[in-house]
Amino acid sequence: MQGNEEIPVEERLEDITGLTCIYVPVNDVYESIKWYQKNLGYQPANNDRVEPGMTMAVLNFPDRNGNLPSPGLRQVVPALFLHKSDEEGG
């Protein structure tokens, strides 16, 4: 394939094998963390302190057994990035 040839979208999508992070704008990071913990079992990464006034947080997804994966060589740890939105609704 030539360096300037366009690759069809279908072929590019085949290269996607998973999802590693999702960025979510929220109005209140602290309240959002509590919601994700209670309803979906997510936990803050890196033992970050959860407190009112936070502007950003990284949450880890539990596996199907409820365990949080640990980072390792060639292992992807999916995460949810919550960040305080500057505007109403995102």
Domain count, the chain: 1
- Is 89 contained in some domain? no
- Is 5 contained in some domain? no
Q: What is the CATH number of the domain that holds 50?
A: 3.30.720
Domain with 29 in it: 18-84
Q: Report d(CA 88, CA 12) in Å as an integer.
A: 35
Consecutive H or E run containing 13: helix 9-14
How much is the pTM?
A: 0.65
What b/e readout covers 61-77, taking b as 16+ CB neighbours within 10 angstroms? beeeeeeeeeeeeeeee
Q: Which residues contact 53 (CB under 8 A, 6 or more apart)?
A: 30
- Is 13 contained in some domain? no
Q: Each residue's pLDDT tens digit in the chain (90 positions)?
A: 456 677 776 666 566 566 677 889 999 999 999 999 899 888 888 767 889 999 999 888 777 777 776 666 556 667 888 999 876 555
